[in-house]
């Protein structure tokens, strides 16, 4: 079930660092092979002390994922529980299939979030709905998740991978420079009042990105 442990996070850190250096990547899809996206943090790893020993490092890895300059999509199927949900929430978008269930089960096991759940989940669904999920540890189905804004797309079973890839390819046709500016401004202004956020955009958005002339010229040459 792709349970998360320290070794996996070390591999993820290496992959994220590589992606951050590459100019040939325009969109990243994060997925789990097999029966499920992930059942969450391996309870055996937690029992052995992994929750306290490595939590700061693993949270930093998720910060690196969230900070990638290119759009990121969590492609989630079947199960996405607790630590796995924190992993998915570090991506820009979350796509699921109809059979997917998501949950925050920290309270079921006497744990508290250390990978960002208390911050990213409320920003997704609002404070009251986040508390509902945290307090009850209940499973949220795909349609409810879409309705409350926890996920961004729901696809039919068997179509998740192809639909996510098609979306990513469409994103990749657009300017990675524009994507970088938008992501960085949204991140920098999260939590600011509207006028403060607007001031930040006016000051920090270049308006014209480095690939604008080439893109416009390619379009007008076809006209």
Q: Are residues 83 and 161 in the same domain?
A: yes
Residues 160 and 189 in one domain: no
Which pTM was predicted? 0.95
Give yes or no: residues 155 and 208 share one domain. Answer: no
Residue 131 has a pLDDT of 98
Answer whether 20's CB lies under 8 Å from 68's CB: yes
Give whole-number Cα distances, 34 to 2, 45, 134, 179, in Å.
8, 21, 27, 31
- What is the CATH classification number for the domain harbouring 108? 3.90.226.10
Q: In terms of domains, do 106 and 207 share one?
A: no
Look at residue 51 in the predicted model and tell me its pLDDT.
Answer: 66
pLDDT score of 47: 79
HSE of 174, CA atoms in CB hemisphere, 13 A: 12
Give the DSSP letter string of 142-179.
HHHHHHTTS-SEEE-TT-HHHHHHHHHHHHHTS-HHHH
* 22 class by beta-carbon count within 10 Å (0-12 exposed, 13-18 middle, 19+ buried): exposed
pLDDT score recorded for residue 34: 94
pLDDT tens, residue order, the chain (223 aa): 999 999 999 999 999 999 999 999 999 999 999 999 999 999 888 878 766 678 999 999 999 999 999 999 999 999 999 999 999 999 999 999 999 999 999 999 999 999 999 999 999 999 999 999 999 999 999 999 999 999 999 999 899 999 999 999 999 999 999 999 999 999 999 999 999 999 999 999 999 999 999 999 999 998 6
Q: Are residues 97 and 51 in the same domain?
A: yes
Whether residue 1 is contained in a domain is answered as: no
The answer to whether position 49 is within a domain reads: yes
User: Measured between alpha carbons, how far is 187 from 200 in angstroms, rounded to an integer?
Assistant: 11
Q: Is residue 40 part of a domain?
A: yes
Phi, psi torsion values for 199, nearest 5 degrees: -60, -40
Same domain, 89 and 154: yes
Statement to judge: residues 104 and 204 lie in one domain: no
Query: How crowded is residue 168: how many other Cβ atoms within 10 Å of its Cβ?
Result: 19
Same domain, 199 and 128: no
Residue 107 and residue 11 in one domain:
yes
Residues 152 and 190 in one domain: no
Q: Are residues 213 and 109 in the same domain?
A: no
Counting the structural domains of the chain, the total is 2
State pLDDT tens for residues 18-50: 999 999 999 999 999 999 999 999 988 887 876
Q: What is residue 44's predicted lDDT score, i.e. its pLDDT?
A: 85
Q: How far is 102 from 100, CA to CA, in rounded Å?
A: 7
Which residues does 169 contact at the CB level (< 8 Å), separation at least 6? 27
Q: Which domain holds residue 194?
A: 176-220
């Amino acid at each position: 079930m792709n349970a998360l442990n320290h070794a996996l996070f070390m591999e993820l850190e290496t992959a994220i660092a590589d992606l951050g250096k590459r100019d040939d990547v325009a969109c990243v899809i994060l997925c789990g092979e097999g029966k499920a996206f992930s059942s969450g943090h391996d309870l055996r790893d937690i029992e052995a002390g992994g929750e306290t020993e490595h939590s700061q490092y693993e949270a930093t890895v998720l910060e690196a994922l969230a900070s990638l300059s290119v759009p990121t999509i969590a492609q989630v199927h079947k199960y996405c529980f607790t630590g796995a949900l924190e992993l998915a929430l570090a991506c820009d978008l979350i796509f699921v299939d109809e059979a997917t269930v998501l949950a925050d089960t920290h309270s079921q096991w006497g744990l508290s979030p250390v990978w960002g759940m208390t911050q990213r989940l409320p920003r997704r669904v609002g404070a009251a709905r986040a508390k509902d999920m945290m307090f009850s540890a209940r499973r949220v189905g795909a349609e409810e998740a879409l309705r409350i804004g926890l996920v961004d797309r729901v696809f039919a079973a068997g179509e998740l991978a192809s639909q996510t890839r098609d979306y990513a390819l469409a994103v990749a046709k657009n300017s990675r420079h524009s994507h970088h500016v938008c992501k960085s401004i949204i991140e920098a202004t999260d939590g600011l009042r509207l006028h403060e956020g607007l001031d930040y955009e006016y000051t920090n958005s270049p308006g014209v990105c480095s690939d604008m002339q080439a893109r416009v010229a390619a379009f007008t040459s076809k006209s």
